[in-house]
Structures are given as structure tokens and as C-alpha cells.
Structure 1
């Protein structure tokens, strides 16, 4: 996974150079490549090895050979996310732009400077966050739960008579996007098409660029429809917000809301179901223990959070972090999954709260932290969607069990995202509850 740690910078180890021809600060001989099966089979082992060999801030190499720093220390990550001036989410600061090809697969994930809530910093970010936050805050939790129950029942009706299902493809992936489609104002029939676009986008593969274009086209059509006929939805509330925003800004913010909420919530559902199906500690949830559902979901945020690595932050000036010299414009990746397993914070939690970092403790960094964290209304929407969906599923199919050995379950091949590619189960067939069209 890593080359021998010599401690001597070697520009040849990363096939790019710094602006002006200098050696990138993170292009060290022992840089860890953010690829390979270990990241989706044994991520905790990968992070332990990183911590042992590099400490809390790790020099890494992105696909294509581009250098970055991965922050895996809880305290160091807290420091980065708490200082939006020193480490802003300002992609325009990146000192590698002159080397980035137009077809780089990670480009849709990293982004380019653009006027959206996700790719702006400082006052401009706060302007977008105020509009989006207010639109999301007005989502009524009771109505949201009702929508989640109805959509979950509709999905379960599609496979409940078979006695078998893939809970990822048949349930965990479509549910959040159907819920989000309703929230932002799409008709239900558009939800599955958008889900396919978002999967291609999040995987960062060859189709990511084309998926990004299709995603934007969907949002442009939605915006035009709501400008013509407003409704009771997030898009209409954004349009009604007092302030000057262009159509491009509305579209980009809608893309950010939907993309950030879809696959992460789907993986939260899938990872929670996998835990309940494979870990005796949470098996009571399968027999209707609703409190145990919440505990399993919180355990997942600590141990197998959907977002393992978040891109990113960029250093506004030369600085020091975790004993490393960070150069102005260096990319700083947030190792959320690794930070949550940092033994220093786990030991502190254990000695001060009598826990090991799970249970009801929510000091995890699964939603990031600081000015650019996932907005609290969005966190609530994700939690209601995931928990309601799981509870409806377990109420309808109480005897769920895996139909393959647990060791055969496969994770998505990504260092950035943690989720299942499939979760095959069997159960006693039941009748559909009704027509939810």
C-alpha cells in the first residue's frame, strides 16, 4: 500500500510538479495512493497503518498522481474544520490546477470554482447557506416521515411477494432519492432516473463527467418548472428567498443538496441494515426494537460512516499541521472515517463518558464539522429518511436474513465512500399493502 518511508522528498514519485516547477510539499516518496482494495475491504487496518507510519497527517496521492494531505487525526481534523480562514473550502486556491486534465475522473467530486453552497467560501458561502438552510428548515418533519413511509411501502411492495431482495438496489438506493425528489419538487417518476445519474457521478468513473452534465440538465428543467408554477417544495422556497441569485446559482445549489443527500443516506441505510443482519449486538432491531435501530445507525456513523474521505480544504497560506509543513494551495482531505477511529479520542471518550465511542454519543465527525459541515436541517432530513425507511422495512419483513455468507458481501470500490454494492436477503413472502401510485 505504501512505499518504504525514506523521509526524503522525491518529485519523481508523483508525476506532477508544483507551480513554477518546484517539488510539491506532499509529493514525498512514502505518499499513500488513495486506491486499492484495502480501502473497501479493511479500511480500519489501512488507517492504523497510516497512523503508525505517518502520524495524524498523511501525504497521499490521488488518481492521476496528484498530491494531497489526508488528515486522519481527530484533533487535527477538528482544527482544520474549525478554521475556515486558514483552511477554506475554496477550490480555486489549489496549486495543481495547471496540471489537471479536463477529463480527470475526480473533477466532479473535487469541483471547480463555481457559485454554489459547496464550492464557495467565506461571505459568499454564508450567503448561499442562508438561502438553502431556510428552505430546508421549513421541511415539516411529520410530513417528511409520512412521505418516507409511503415511499418505503411502495418500494417494498415491489419485491415483498418474491421472498428475496437486494436491499441496496431495491430499497436503500432508491428510497433517499425518491424522498429528495419530492422535497425539491420533482415528480416521483423522475426519482429513479436521477438515482442512476447520481450513482455514476459519485463513483468517479469514466461516466462521471457526462453524468454531471445530465444532473445539471435535470435541475435546470426543475427550476424552470418552479419559476413558472411555484409549489410547496425546497426549490420554490429558494426562489422566494429575498436576495439576488442567478439561475446558475439556484441550479448548482439544488445539485449540491441532492447529491450530498442521496448516496450518503443510501449508504447509511445499507450499512445499518448490514450491521443489524451480521452483528448479534444489534439483532434485536430486526424484531422490532426501534431504539436499537437508532443505536445501530449511530454505530455506523462512528465505525462505517458513508463519507470516509471528504474533499476538501485548501491551505490559504503556508502553515504547520500535525507536524507537517503544509504549503499554500495544498489540498487537505478530511479523513472523517479515520478520525472517528483515532485511538486518542476513543480513549478520551471511554475514560470521560464510560463508552467506547458508540451508543448514544454523537461526537463523531460523520457530518464533518465547522462552518462547512452538513447543515443541521439536512442532517435531520437524512436521519428521518434512513430511520423511517429501516423501521418500515423491519415492520413489513420481520424475519429478514442474509441469503449469502456475510464474508461474501462486497463494498463499493472507493476510498472516499463506504457502502455496500449489494445486500441479498431472504424472508417470508408477504402481500403488498396497496397501490401507492
Structure 2
């Protein structure tokens, strides 16, 4: 089988790229190693930047998002038993974010792809990419028990941090930058209506906490825990008690979370990771295959979307104008945005989390930074502009 663009990975990056290419009349094939049910159940972040929302609408994947998603115009910071709201539209000239789970984005894009897009093969395990530096790269994969080869004009690796695409870039031309944080998140899903209208980010001497939601009846909550924590060590009651303690504020001493059955529980490690370059020959890396951010800045899905939007524009330009200028610039264009998002995610993470080894001096520095964000419109605007997402290039 031959296609113009072979896409490895049926997550949001690969599926959005396939949709953008389909709408432009460029054929593609998506190879996803998991089955459809697994992909549609996989829980991931759910904060969409304004540019991601706009891209999904333009791609024809915004109808259910606009009906069921929850627009948010700000976040609340809690620290030193105080609270301060960051007003996104007022600070950014009208931008906001949308709470709509990545799981739902994937479901919407899968439905569109299966209805009228190119081939989307589930249970297709990619074994390797050959000839990435030639004019006819190929992807080796196993589907329905048979080894097969997909030849392509271009290959795009959207197969995540542990995927095979990154390995097709020779070590001699690949540089990796990484930071592993000394803590993790214990995340829960609970059948409990949120008692808050917007996300709450809490700095506490007991550790960080985050309150978000999946729907008006389902809460998504996180606690900072030591790396290597076993979720089984945390009973539901212990989780709820710790969340209430970390969110406590003197402005509303009776404030408590609505409690309900915990339906999901997992520990998420925290790391920052960038692989450069994001292009090798006719193979391009996008999303988690090229970069990982700690979830504090809500940037993972949005960076992946930005990558494939830039790449789709470059592929369309190559077809229409016969120019490879945008394709040649792909890695540098994306990496400028990636490093800005890496820095913002690092800023949010180190400002709000309590490092097990940090001193009282370092804790006072964190509180000073939070005070600055609360007191200065300029500092608050910097946070709001990065959180809602910087404009896409072009």
C-alpha cells in the first residue's frame, strides 16, 4: 500500500493531522497499535487552548465540543490560605480555554475519520521506519496477523514518548533534553459534581493540589505525591481529606469539596523532555514523540495540536506551491513554541509544587512569586497569555 502521508499513532495528534489533510485533499493512512476501545477510553488532559478549539472547529470536529465542553474564563490560585482569580479575557484581549476531555476529542476525530477519511487501522503494530532519509520512506507493521509495508511520500511519528518513530532518527543527529521531577500526581475521577466554576491550583505546605472537572457531574482532582507512590496506599477517604486540607482558605473556612465514589485512580510521573530535531529526512515527529511537559501548564495536547497544524500547512504548501520552505522550517518553527511551553510548564510546576528537598527559603520564594502574580497585572497577564496559548505561527 502507498500513501502520501503515513501517520504512526491514532491519538489526537495523528487523528487531527489526518483530518486536516483529508479536508485539503491529501491522502493519508493512520496506523494505531491499540484497539479502538482502548484508544477511546484512554484518559488524558482536557484543557484546550483557544487555538486548539479553533482548529477543531475548522476541521469539522467542534460540534459536540461546543455542545458539551465547558468554556473557562479563568483559574483560581490558592496559596498561603489565600485565593486569587486570574481573569483570562481581561488579561489577554478576550482569549479563554475549553474543558473538554482528550478522550472525547479522540472519539470525535475517530468518528470523522471512519466516516469519510482515509484508512485508520487499529491493532496495527509498527515495527520500524525504513529509508526516512530517502524520497520513498516506508513503515513496517503487523495487522491482522500479517507483516505489511506502507510506502509513503512522508512519514509522521505521532506515536508518543515510547513509540518507534523517534528511534528512526539516528542517535548521531538526535539531541535529548530532559528533567525528571521528584514528585508525581495522584489523579482521581469521581462521581461528584464540582463545587467550583473554574480550575483551582493550590500551593500548600502539604504539597500541590488541582481541582478540575470532566463534566457538571464528574470531578477530576490531583494531589502531589512522592514518585513511585502506589495508588492502593491512598484510600478514598484519605484522598478527600487531603484535598480539603490543601485547598483550605481563610476567606472561606467552611469550603469543602463535594464527595462521591472514586471511579478511577492513577499515579502520573512528572517530566520535561524534548528531542531535537523534530524532522529527519522525510520523517517528522509530532506531539509526545518529540516532547513531554509536566501537566501543570495544560500544554501537552495543545502542543501536539500546534505541531500538526504547522505540519499540515507545510504539506499543503508543498503540494500547492511546489515549495519545501515550510517543511524545511518545520522543526525550528515548532521548537520555538515547544520551548516556550516547556518554560511555562516548568514555571507553573516549580512555583506550585513543594520539592521534598526544598528549604524554607525556597518556599518563601514560591510564595513571593505567587504574590507577584496576584499583585501585578503584568505578571498575571504573562501567566494568562501562556495558559490560554500563544498565537500559532503563520
Structure 2-normalised TM-score? 0.29
Structure 1-normalised TM-score? 0.27
Give the strand-richer structure, 1 or 2.
Answer: 2
